[in-house]
Amino acid sequence: MNSKIVRIFMAVALVTPLATLAQTSAAAANPPAASSPAAAAAPTPAAAAPTKVGVISIQDAILATNEGQREFEALGKKFEPKRTELKSLSDEIEGLQKQVDTGSKSMTEEQRAGLVRQIEAKKKTLSRSQEDAQNDFVGQQNEIAQKLLQKLLPVIDKYAKENGLGLIIDSSRQWPEGPVLWAGPSVEITKAIVDLYNTQSGVPAAPSASRPAGATGARPSGPATKPATKPAEPPK
């Protein structure tokens, strides 16, 4: 659980007994001379209500909105030509490497050295192209995410006020990198925010879009030359 929440709950747990102890000590040191009807009728201060907390995965919410699905799918299609280009160059390098491996006995040392130089040059070109494509892809991905986040914030604010939430925590990153150690389903508001945003935005769901459990959306694949282990961003 977020350290801030822990501190809040610890404060609630500690303040009450300390206040009671202080009142008891004061009463023992200064006993009242006589009780009066007015004193007996004095109301007891009510304990402060606990803060209602909501947990949302902003990253999943952005990706799960209809608008996010549409924008990130378009981004993936935009980088298809670059992905094809990198795949072609990677295949070319692989073919040259096979020539070196299988024809080492039939080719001269000069021919072999020439192929090795070609491979090294193409590998450098591929590495630079991958890095440039990755930076471009991630930059545009972040621009989309920031744009959607700015649209989501008023929706989150409205939901919090209407549901009496005093604190909302982002659970996009898993503990210990993220703030949330554990959260029950009763405080999870990601799907509620996504549904509310979709209703207000008016963007229809894509026909092929599917929502996994937890309202997470499909993430765009970057300009990779092979299947990425983490589809959130292109491989390095």
Task: Tell me if 16 is assigned to some domain.
Answer: yes
22 compared with 82, residue with greater pLDDT: 82
Neighbour tally for 40: CB within 10 Å: 7
Task: Tell me if 12 is assigned to some domain.
Answer: yes
Task: Tell me if 23 is assigned to some domain.
Answer: yes
Measured CA to CA, the distance from residue 165 to residue 167 in angstroms comes to 6
Strand partners, 54: 168
pLDDT tens column, 172-210: 998 999 999 999 999 999 999 999 999 999 999 987 654
24 compared with 90, residue with greater pLDDT: 90
Task: Tell me if 25 is assigned to some domain.
Answer: yes
Cβ contact 232:219 at 8 Å: yes
Of the pLDDT bands very low, low, confident and very high (cuts 50, 70, 90), residue 47 is: low
Task: Tell me if 17 is assigned to some domain.
Answer: yes
Domain count of the fold of the chain: 1
Here the tokens at position 120 are: 């090294």
Task: Tell me if 7 is assigned to some domain.
Answer: yes
Task: Tell me if 49 is assigned to some domain.
Answer: no
Task: Tell me if 8 is assigned to some domain.
Answer: yes
- Domain containing 19: what range? 1-29
Here the tokens at position 188 are: 């999870």
Here the tokens at position 65 are: 């909105």
- Determine the angle formed by the axes of helices 190-201 and 109-162, rounding to 10 degrees: 90
Q: Quote the DSSP letter at residue 151.
A: H
